[in-house]
Every structure is written in structure tokens, then in C-alpha cells.
């Protein structure tokens, strides 16, 4: 007999048929003559209620049906008289596929803290919260490919091992096959990378952008969607050492075109989540409400689904970095010295400033443009004022920066001059500079941090909870 997924059974609501269901026990309640088993197979947040007449089954079998155990149940779908579900499965045959020792299985039917579940990240998929998060994460990955495919972008796979440091920031993970204890040395006593695997120092990529630009200046519009690595020691709720980034790169786009794309793209993804992940979002919205119950009113965030609708339906605010600094300096928050970090034209905005603009001042997502060139990467297009570059950051509530992007400097001489000022090795990037030597065109792109976006969609507060196996400083378990 064909196995049916719980999702299919609950969606159709049909009764009368005999079906086979396989899944994991979430809870078991027993009375004298019947047991009710809540079975979850991961296809949907809801459990299927399995009704067991205890007189029809072996006592020892029933004893081994505990939270966490895997079952195959054959039975008949019946209208349910219980509350909360329309259908239930009246068991005829139960096979215990894999027992779970109730003394040892960590995920018990009670509220576990997110910290506890992080320590048990290998089993946390077995909870409603993480089931919902990872179904949504899947749907968002699918929607990203769908969006770009509809808009004529090509998916480009840029390398994970690279010899270049895209940002010039130098916080990279070295990739080497040299003996860490006894590396070969040059006559001067330095590590001899010429005998390393690639014959040169290599690292894990911090961005696919530079290679992405090569693709865009031939294919027109491309995007990358892959793992990205940063050896930055930032122990925040928004930084991972290994995260996934989506980086579209578009020939013939100026900064305005790029802002339009970023806004349309984000709104498409949010609408997709609202349309396709309603059950999981409803669950997460309830979770958030529960979590915020104790907080004072002004610290409570908007209902998750209201918030998603609000962002999908309203225009993002667009203004310059200079304008943002003005607003921050004139704010009561600033005057009362409530910002921890300085606000001064020329300094990078911190998350507290970004969130003030988004959550308190404009009360909607903000796109900031034209940042001081000193705080941005070498490849950004230099504006005519000589002070700023055509950069673009998209700022979201609760998160701050979710997208960083820019129009790229297409002028060979200006680009090389800036690289020299910033001590970027011009010779090593000869291949990148060829885009400006041969058929250079205005072009632009941005990077969306996938996990930051999933934080926003799910309403979760810690980036470690929206990636299956988080890598952060001192943490690479599982």
C-alpha cells in the first residue's frame, strides 16, 4: 500500500480510505481502552492523531511507543470527534520502526529553551519550531531561484576556494594541505606556499561578487547563491562564520535600478512566504507572541504576519547616508546620549543606528545610499562629489543591514587609482580588471545574507537558529 504524507491527508480531509503513514511520535496519551498518538512526518507542522484500541495490540509494543520513536501505521481515516483536527487514523497495524528510550531522548514534549536546542542541534528538527523554520528556509531558497529565473538571471556557481580577498578585509579562512606543525619554509623563513596544493595561498570565499561581475558582463544578469565564510570574531546574534549569500550582479543597471530590484525581490519573497508557508508562519507568530508576553509594551514587536504584510505592501524609505546622519544627530535618542557608538559623518553606522532609523524614525525598511568612500569597498562607483560612493544598504527591522550592494566603478583608471589608495593588489586582480579593459559597462549588484533574511521571515532572534548547523567562533559541533 502506498504511504501517504500527513500533509496530503490533512489537506484533503477525506475519510474512509485505508492508508499507511510513517513518522515520529510527538506525544502519546493513554486512557483505559484507547491511546492517542500524535504522529509527525515532517511534511507539515500538524500531527496526525492516531487512535489505538489498546485491546487490539500487544502490550509490550504499546509500551515502547514513546516520544521520539518511529512508527509505520496502517489504518483507516475517520472523521475526528476530538478538537483540533478533522481526520484521525484508526490504527489496524503498527510497526515500531525505531524505538526511542524515553529516559535518554532529549526532546521531550515540553518547552525547551532555544539554548538547550542549540546544544542538541542534531535533534532539534524534531520540534515544531525548527520544523517550521526549515520548511520556510526551503521555500525561500526555492522562491529565490524562481524569482531570478522569471527575471532572466542565470545562476552562476562561483568558487568556494579563492586566491583573492574580495573585500580586502582579510578575515578569511586559510585553505591549505601544508603540515601545520612543520610547513615548508622559504630561505627567508616564511611559509613556502609555492609547495601548497594550489601553489599559492588560498582561502574560503567571503563573496562571489568579483567572479559574479565577470559573468554579468557577458551573460547580462547573473546571481550566485552559495556558502560564504568570514573568520570575523563577532559573537553577535547576526553573524555566522559560515553563511549563505545571494549575490545578483547586473550589467547596465545603475544604483536606482538596483534599489528597485532589491525592493521588488524582497517583497516577492515575503509574499511567497505568506502564500506558501501560512501554517508554519502562524505557528511562529504564536511562538513570538508567547515569548514577548512578559515584555513591556514598547519593546513588543508587531505580530509576525502583520509585519510581513506591512513590509510587502509599503514602499521602502530611500535616503542618503548624509541624510541619515542628520536624522540621527537631531534625534532625542542622540541628545539623551542613548547611542552606544558615535554618530559622525564618516563613521560606519552601527546596528543600533540602523535599527533606530528603521524601527523608531521611519517605521519601515530603509535603503541608505551614497556612503563615505572610506568605509566602503574599493570597487564601488565613485560619486562626483569625490567623497561618497554609490553604495546601497537595505536596513530591516530587528536586523539592521540585510543587503549590502553598490553600483560598481566601471572606469578602469578610477578603479585602479582607488585600489592603489587602498593597497589592493592590482596585479593579482588582473583578471577582474579585464572587465574594465574590454567592453566595460555600468553595472551593479548586491549581497543578501540568506540567514538574516530568514531571521526576518521567521521572527527568530538568533541567527544560530535559522541555519541547520551553525558555525560560530569556538563552535563547529555536528
- Which residues are at the interface with ligand ATP (CB under 6 A)? 230, 239-240, 243, 245, 401-404, 447, 449, 451-452
* Number of other CB atoms surrounding residue 35 within 10 Å: 17
- In terms of CB distance, is 153 or 243 closer to ligand ATP? 243
Joined grid coordinates for residue 117: 536546542
**Residue 106 in contact with residue 124, Cβ under 8 Å?**
no
- In terms of CB distance, is 126 or 353 closer to ligand ATP? 353
Tell me how far, at minimum, the Cβ of 410 lies from ligand ATP, in Å.
20
* Number of other CB atoms surrounding residue 304 within 10 Å: 22
Tell me how far, at minimum, the Cβ of 59 lies from ligand ATP, in Å.
52
Q: If residue 61 lies in a helix (H) or strand (E), which one and from where to where?
A: helix 59-64
Quote the DSSP letter at residue 399.
Answer: T
- In terms of CB distance, is 4 or 376 closer to ligand ATP? 376
Joined grid coordinates for residue 158: 562561483
How far is residue 398's CA from residue 246's CA, in Å, rounded to a whole number? 20
Q: How far is CA 161 from the centre of its chain?
A: 22
DSSP per residue over 6-53, as a string?
A: HHHHHHH---S-EEEEEEEEEEEEE-SSEEEEEEE-SSSSSPEEEEEE
Tell me how far, at minimum, the Cβ of 407 lies from ligand ATP, in Å.
14
Tell me how far, at minimum, the Cβ of 50 lies from ligand ATP, in Å.
41
- In terms of CB distance, is 75 or 449 closer to ligand ATP? 449
How far is residue 404's CA from residue 383's CA, in Å, rounded to a whole number? 17
Tell me how far, at minimum, the Cβ of 17 lies from ligand ATP, in Å.
46
- In terms of CB distance, is 147 or 453 closer to ligand ATP? 453
Report the SS3 class of residue 357: helix
Joined grid coordinates for residue 461: 532572534
- In terms of CB distance, is 24 or 223 closer to ligand ATP? 223
Tell me how far, at minimum, the Cβ of 90 lies from ligand ATP, in Å.
48
DSSP per residue over 89-153, as a string?
A: EEEEEEEEEE---TTT-S--SS---HHHHHHTTTTGGGSHHHHHHHHHHHHHHHHHHHHHHHTT-
Tell me how far, at minimum, the Cβ of 230 lies from ligand ATP, in Å.
5
Tell me how far, at minimum, the Cβ of 139 lies from ligand ATP, in Å.
19
Tell me how far, at minimum, the Cβ of 41 lies from ligand ATP, in Å.
31
Tell me how far, at minimum, the Cβ of 452 lies from ligand ATP, in Å.
4
Tell me how far, at minimum, the Cβ of 24 lies from ligand ATP, in Å.
31
- In terms of CB distance, is 28 or 239 closer to ligand ATP? 239
- In terms of CB distance, is 27 or 350 closer to ligand ATP? 350
**Residue 211 in contact with residue 158, Cβ under 8 Å?**
yes
- In terms of CB distance, is 257 or 401 closer to ligand ATP? 401
Per DSSP, what are the bridge partners of residue 79?
Answer: 87
What are the strands of the beta sheet with 174-175, ordered from one edge? 161-162, 202-204, 174-175
Q: What is the largest CA-CA distance in the chain?
A: 85
- In terms of CB distance, is 77 or 466 closer to ligand ATP? 466
Tell me how far, at minimum, the Cβ of 30 lies from ligand ATP, in Å.
46
Distances, alpha carbon 196 to alpha carbons 158, 162, 177, in Å: 22, 14, 6
Quote the DSSP letter at residue 388.
Answer: E
**Residue 208 in contact with residue 249, Cβ under 8 Å?**
no
- In terms of CB distance, is 124 or 355 closer to ligand ATP? 355
Query: Among all chains, which residue has been given the C-alpha cell 570565499?
Result: 205
- In terms of CB distance, is 139 or 402 closer to ligand ATP? 402
How far is residue 433's CA from residue 214's CA, in Å, rounded to a whole number? 10
Amino acid at each position: 500500500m502506498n504511504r501517504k504524507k500527513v500533509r496530503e491527508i490533512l489537506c484533503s480531509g477525506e475519510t474512509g480510505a485505508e492508508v499507511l503513514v510513517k513518522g515520529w511520535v510527538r506525544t502519546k496519551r493513554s486512557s483505559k481502552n484507547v491511546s492517542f498518538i500524535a504522529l509527525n512526518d515532517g511534511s507539515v507542522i500538524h500531527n496526525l492523531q492516531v487512535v489505538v484500541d489498546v485491546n487490539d495490540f500487544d502490550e509490550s509494543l504499546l509500551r515502547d511507543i514513546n516520544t521520539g520513536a518511529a512508527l509505520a501505521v496502517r489504518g483507516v481515516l475517520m472523521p475526528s470527534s476530538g478538537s483540533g483536527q478533522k481526520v484521525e487514523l484508526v490504527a489496524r497495524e503498527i510497526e515500531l520502526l525505531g524505538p526511542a528510550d524515553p529516559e535518554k531522548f532529549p526532546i521531550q514534549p515540553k518547552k525547551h529553551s532555544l539554548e538547550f536546542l542549540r546544544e542538541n542541534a542534531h535533534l532539534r528538527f524534531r520540534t515544531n519550531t525548527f520544523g517550521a523554520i526549515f520548511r520556510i528556509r526551503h521555500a525561500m531558497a526555492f522562491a529565490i531561484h524562481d524569482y531570478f529565473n522569471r527575471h532572466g538571471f542565470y545562476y552562476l556557481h562561483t568558487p568556494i576556494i579563492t586566491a583573492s580577498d574580495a573585500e580586502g578585509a582579510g578575515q578569511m579562512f586559510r585553505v591549505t594541505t601544508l603540515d601545520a606543525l612543520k610547513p615548508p619554509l622559504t630561505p627567508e623563513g616564511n611559509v613556502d606556499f609555492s609547495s601548497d596544493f594550489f601553489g599559492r595561498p588560498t582561502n574560503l570565499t567571503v563573496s562571489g561578487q568579483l567572479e559574479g561581475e565577470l559573468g554579468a558582463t557577458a551573460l547580462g544578469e547573473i546571481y550566485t547563491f552559495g556558502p560564504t565564510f568570514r573568520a570575523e570574531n563577532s559573537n553577535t546574534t547576526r553573524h555566522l562564520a559560515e553563511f549563505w549569500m545571494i549575490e545578483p550582479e547586473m550589467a547596465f543597471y545603475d544604483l536606482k535600478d538596483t534599489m528597485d530590484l532589491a525592493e521588488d525581490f524582497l517583497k516577492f519573497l515575503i509574499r511567497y512566504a505568506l502564500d506558501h508557508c501560512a501554517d508554519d508562519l502562524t505557528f511562529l507568530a504564536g511562538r513570538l507572541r508567547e515569548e514577548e508576553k512578559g515584555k513591556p509594551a514598547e519593546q513588543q514587536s508587531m505580530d509576525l504576519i502583520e509585519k510581513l504584510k506591512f513590509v510587502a505592501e509599503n514602499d521602502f524609505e530611500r535616503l542618503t547616508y548624509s541624510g541619515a546622519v542628520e536624522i540621527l544627530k537631531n534625534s532625542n535618542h542622540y541628545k539623551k546620549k542613548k547611542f552606544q557608538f558615535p554618530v559622525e559623518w564618516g563613521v560606519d553606522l552601527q546596528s543600533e543606528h540602523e535599527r533606530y532609523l528603521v524601527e523608531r524614525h521611519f517605521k519601515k525598511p530603509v535603503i541608505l545610499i551614497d556612503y563615505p568612500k572610506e568605509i566602503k569597498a574599493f570597487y564601488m562607483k565613485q560619486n562626483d562629489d569625490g567623497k561618497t560612493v554609490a553604495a546601497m544598504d537595505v536596513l530591516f527591522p530587528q536586523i539592521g543591514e540585510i543587503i549590502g550592494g553598490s553600483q560598481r566603478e566601471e572606469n578602469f583608471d578610477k578603479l585602479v587609482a582607488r585600489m592603489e589608495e587602498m593597497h589592493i593588489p592590482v596585479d593579482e586582480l588582473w583578471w577582474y580588471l579585464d572587465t574594465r579593459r574590454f567592453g566595460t559597462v555600468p553595472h551593479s549588484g548586491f549581497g543578501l545574507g540568506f540567514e538574516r533574511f530568514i531571521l526576518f521571515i521567521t521572527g527568530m532572534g538568533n541567527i544560530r537558529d535559522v541555519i541547520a548547523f551553525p558555525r560560530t567562533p569556538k563552535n563547529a559541533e555536528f
